[in-house]
C-alpha cells in the first residue's frame, strides 16, 4: 500500500518535472552558451557511466574558459606491436594526442585509437570511428576501484579471520556486523539452494562474489560515483565465472538432464518429437542463465546511476525555487533506494549463482525412485 | 546490443577476471577458510556442549532413579528381614511353648504314674497290714471266744445262721 503511494508520488513528480524541463530548455538556448546545459549534462552522465583512463575527482571551468581537472593520471598499457606503457596525463583528458615511440594515440569517447600525427578520426556511415584500436590493458579507473575493493576485502576478512583465532571463535568489532551476513549467505543462500552435502565447496565463491558486488555497488553511490558493476565487461566476467563453475562442477545427472530432460518417464519413441523442442531449450538455458545474470546487474546499476545523476542534473537545469529542491528531494529518495538496490543486486547475483550451482550439483533422487517403482 | 558490444572493454574484462580470481584465491585461503572453520568449530562446540548437558541431565536422572531404586530395595530388604525375624521369634516362642507343654505333660504323667504306683503300693501295704491286724484281732477274739463253751456254741450257731441266710 505504502509502496504504491510512494510510486504514485514519483510518477506525478516526474510528469511535473518533465513540464519544467521543457520550459527551461528554451531559456538555456536563449542564454547562448556554446552547448546547451542539457546536452552538457547528458554528455557528462554518459562519460561518467563509462570507464576512464584517469582518476578525476571533479572538474571545473576557469573564467577564461579553460577546463581544470582535479585528480590523478593512471598508467596506460597498450599492446601495439609490443607493450607500450605511458601515463594517461599525456592525453590531457582527450584534448591532446599522445606520442609514444613514433605512434600517435587519441582518446576519443573514453577509447584509445591509433591516429596519424594530426589526430584525424575516420568515420563510417554510422558515425563509428574506423581507426585501429590497439589492445588496451590500461589500469583504468575501474581497475583501480577493483584493486581498492579487493584490498579492502582482504584487509577486512583476514582481520576477521585473525580475530576469530585470537578470541576463540568469537567475532569482535566489524566482525559482529559481517558475521551475520556470512552466516546468512551460508544458511539462507547456499544451504537451501545447493544442499547440505555439497554447499561447502561453493561457499568461498559465493561469499567473495557477494561482498565484491556489494562493496563496488556501494562505492558507486559515494560522491566518487565510480560505476564498476554497471560496466558490461565486469558483469560479463562475473557471470562467466558462475557459468564456468556451474558447468565444471556439474554432475552426470545434470548433463544427462540437458540431453535427456524427461528421463525414464516416457518411452524413447514418445520423446523424439518433444526433444526436437526441449533439448534446444535446455541447451539454450545453459547460456541464458548467466546471460540474465550479467544483464540484470549491468542494467540495474547503469539505470540507478543514470536516474540519480539525471535528477542531480535537473537541479542545475531548473535553477528555480520549486524545481531544484524537488529534484534534490527526489535524488535523495532515489539514492536511499539505490543503497537498497546495491545490496539487493549483490544478493540476487549470489542467490541465483547458488541456485545454478544447486541445479548442477544435484543428484536426481526421483530418478532412483522411478527405478524402484519399475522394479516393484 | 551493438551499444553493449561497443562498451565492452577487453582490457577491463582481463583485469577483472585476473584480479577477481586472485582475490577469490587469497580470500579463500586466508579469510573464508579460517572464518567458516571458526564458525563451524563454534557451532560444533555449542552443539557438543548442549549434547553434553543433555547427557549429564539424563545421567543425573539415571543416578536419581538408581538411588531411589536402591533405597526402595533397602527398605524392602529391611522389611523382609524384620518380617523374618518376627517369624523366627514367633516360631521359637511357639516351639518353646510346645516343648514346655510336652515336657510338662510328660512330667505330669510321670508324676501321676508315680502317684498311682505309690498309691497302689500304699493300698497293698495297708491291705497287708489290715489283713495282719484282722488276723491278729480275729485270733485274739477267737481265742477269747473259744475259752468259753457257751460262747463257742453260740458262735457256731450264728455262723450257721449266716450261711442259711446266704
* B15 and chain A in contact, CB less than 8 A: yes
Q: List CB contacts of A215: < 8 A, sequence separation 6 or more.
A: A149, A152, A153
> Cβ of A227: how many Cβ atoms within 10 Å?
24
pLDDT single digits (tens) A12-65: 555 444 444 444 443 444 444 456 788 888 888 887 788 888 887 777 777 777
pLDDT at A349 over 70: yes
> Given B7, B17, B31, which is nearest A157 (Cβ)?
B31
CA dist B166 and A232 (Å) reads: 174
Best to test chain A binding among B8, B21, B25, B38 (most A CBs inside 10 Å)? B38
Q: Which of A135, A161, A231 sits opposite B10 (nearest CB)?
A: A135
Q: How far is CA A76 from the centre of its chain?
A: 22
Instruction: List CB contacts of A37: < 8 A, sequence separation 6 or more.
Output: A28, A316, A317
pLDDT tens digit sequence for A191-208: 999 988 888 889 999 999
Concatenating the DSSP letter of every residue in A111-166 gives EEEEE-TT----B-TTS-B-S---EE----HHHHHHHHHHHHHHHHHHHHHHHHHH
Query: Do residue A50 and residue B7 have CB atoms under 8 angstroms apart?
Result: yes
Q: Residues of chain A with pLDDT > 90: what percent? A: 24
Count residue pairs from A and B with Cβ separation < 8 A.
126
For residue A369, pLDDT beyond 60: no
CB atoms within 10 A of CB A217: 25
Q: Look at residue A375 and tell me whether its pLDDT is greater than 50.
A: no
Other beta carbons within 10 angstroms of residue B32's beta carbon come to: 22
Specify the pLDDT at position B106. Answer: 92
Q: Is B39 left (phi over 0), alpha (psi -120 to 50) or beta?
A: alpha
> Residue A5: what pLDDT?
56
Neighbours of B19 (CB within 10 A): 17
Query: Å from A93 to nearest chain B CA?
Result: 19
Q: Which of residues 156-215 of A touch B (CB under 8 A)?
A: 157-158, 160-162, 164-165, 169-170, 179, 182-183, 186, 200, 203-205, 207-208, 212
pLDDT at A24 (0 to 100): 40
pLDDT of residue A173: 79
pLDDT(A365) > 70 = no
**B54-68 mean pLDDT:** 94
For A75-95, write each residue's pLDDT tens digit: 888 887 778 888 888 787 777
What does the pLDDT read at residue A28? 40
State whether B23 and A150 contact (CB < 8 Å). Answer: yes
Q: Do A233 and B12 touch (CB under 8 A)?
A: yes
Within an 8 Å CB–CB cutoff, is residue B122 touching chain A?
Answer: no
* B33 touches A at CB < 8 Å: yes
Under the banding of pLDDT at 50, 70 and 90, the label for residue A11 is low
Residue A274: the pLDDT is: 81
> What is the pLDDT averaged over residues B66-84?
95
Task: Tell me the mean pLDDT in the region B72-81.
Answer: 95
Q: What's the pLDDT score for residue A272?
A: 80
User: What is residue A32's predicted lDDT score, i.e. its pLDDT?
Assistant: 42
Question: How far is it, in rounded angstroms, from Cα A318 to Cα A27?
Answer: 10
Beta-carbon separation of B24 and A233 below 8 A: no
* Mean pLDDT, rounded, for A120-142: 80
Task: Quote the pLDDT of residue A104.
Answer: 81
The least confident of A155-164, A218-227, B27-36, B69-78 is A218-227
Amino acid at each position: 500500500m505504502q509502496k504504491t503511494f510512494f510510486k504514485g508520488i514519483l510518477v506525478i513528480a516526474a510528469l511535473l518535472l518533465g513540464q519544467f524541463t521543457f520550459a527551461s530548455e528554451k531559456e538555456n538556448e536563449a542564454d547562448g552558451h556554446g552547448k546547451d546545459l542539457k546536452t552538457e549534462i547528458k554528455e557528462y552522465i554518459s562519460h561518467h557511466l563509462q570507464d576512464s583512463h584517469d582518476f578525476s575527482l571533479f572538474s571545473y571551468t576557469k573564467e577564461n574558459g579553460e577546463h581544470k581537472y582535479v585528480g590523478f593520471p593512471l598508467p596506460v598499457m597498450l599492446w601495439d606491436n609490443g607493450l607500450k606503457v605511458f601515463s594517461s596525463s599525456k592525453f590531457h583528458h582527450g584534448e591532446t594526442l599522445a606520442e609514444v615511440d613514433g605512434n600517435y594515440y587519441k582518446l576519443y569517447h573514453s577509447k584509445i585509437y591509433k591516429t596519424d600525427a594530426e589526430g584525424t578520426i575516420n568515420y563510417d556511415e554510422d558515425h563509428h570511428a574506423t581507426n585501429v584500436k590497439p589492445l588496451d590493458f590500461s589500469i583504468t579507473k575501474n581497475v583501480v576501484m577493483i584493486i581498492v575493493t579487493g584490498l579492502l576485502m582482504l584487509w577486512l576478512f583476514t582481520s576477521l579471520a585473525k580475530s576469530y583465532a585470537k578470541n576463540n571463535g568469537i567475532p569482535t568489532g566489524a566482525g559482529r556486523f559481517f558475521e551475520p551476513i556470512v552466516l546468512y549467505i551460508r544458511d539462507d543462500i547456499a544451504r537451501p539452494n545447493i544442499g547440505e552435502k555439497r554447499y561447502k565447496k561453493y561457499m568461498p565463491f559465493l561469499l567473495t562474489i557477494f561482498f565484491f558486488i556489494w562493496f563496488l555497488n556501494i562505492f558507486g553511490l559515494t560522491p566518487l560515483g565510480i560505476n564498476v558493476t554497471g560496466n558490461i565487461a565486469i558483469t560479463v566476467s562475473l557471470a562467466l565465472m558462475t557459468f564456468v563453475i556451474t558447468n565444471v562442477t556439474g554432475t552426470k545427472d545434470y548433463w544427462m538432464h540437458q540431453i535427456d530432460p524427461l528421463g525414464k518417464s516416457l518411452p524413447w519413441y514418445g520423446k523424439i518429437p518433444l526433444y526436437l523442442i526441449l533439448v534446444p531449450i535446455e541447451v539454450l538455458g545453459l547460456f541464458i542463465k548467466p546471460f540474465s545474470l550479467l544483464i540484470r546487474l549491468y542494467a540495474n546499476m547503469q539505470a540507478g546511476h543514470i536516474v540519480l545523476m539525471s535528477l542531480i542534473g535537473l537541479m542545475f537545469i531548473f535553477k528555480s525555487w520549486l524545481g531544484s529542491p524537488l529534484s534534490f528531494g527526489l535524488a535523495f529518495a532515489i539514492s536511499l533506494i539505490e543503497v537498497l538496490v546495491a545490496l539487493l543486486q549483490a544478493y540476487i547475483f549470489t542467490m541465483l549463482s547458488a541456485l545454478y550451482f544447486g541445479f548442477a550439483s544435484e543428484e536426481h533422487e526421483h530418478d532412483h525412485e522411478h527405478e524402484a517403482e519399475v522394479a516393484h | 546490443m551493438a551499444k553493449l558490444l561497443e562498451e565492452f572493454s577487453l582490457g577491463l574484462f582481463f583485469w577483472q577476471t585476473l584480479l577477481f580470481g586472485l582475490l577469490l584465491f587469497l580470500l579463500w585461503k586466508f579469510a573464508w577458510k579460517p572464518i567458516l572453520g571458526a564458525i563451524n568449530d563454534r557451532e560444533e562446540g555449542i552443539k557438543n556442549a548442549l549434547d553434553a548437558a543433555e547427557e549429564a541431565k539424563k545421567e543425573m536422572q539415571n543416578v536419581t532413579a538408581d538411588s531411589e531404586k536402591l533405597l526402595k530395595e533397602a527398605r524392602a530388604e529391611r522389611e523382609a528381614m524384620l518380617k523374618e525375624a518376627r517369624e523366627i521369634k514367633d516360631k521359637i516362642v511357639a516351639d518353646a511353648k510346645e516343648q514346655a507343654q510336652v515336657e510338662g505333660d510328660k512330667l505330669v504323667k510321670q508324676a501321676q504314674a508315680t502317684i498311682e504306683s505309690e498309691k497302689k503300693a500304699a493300698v497293698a501295704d495297708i491291705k497287708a497290714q489290715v489283713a495282719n491286724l484282722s488276723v491278729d484281732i480275729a485270733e485274739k477274739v477267737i481265742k477269747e471266744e473259744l475259752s468259753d463253751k457257751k460262747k463257742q456254741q453260740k458262735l457256731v450257731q450264728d455262723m450257721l445262721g449266716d450261711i442259711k441266710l446266704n
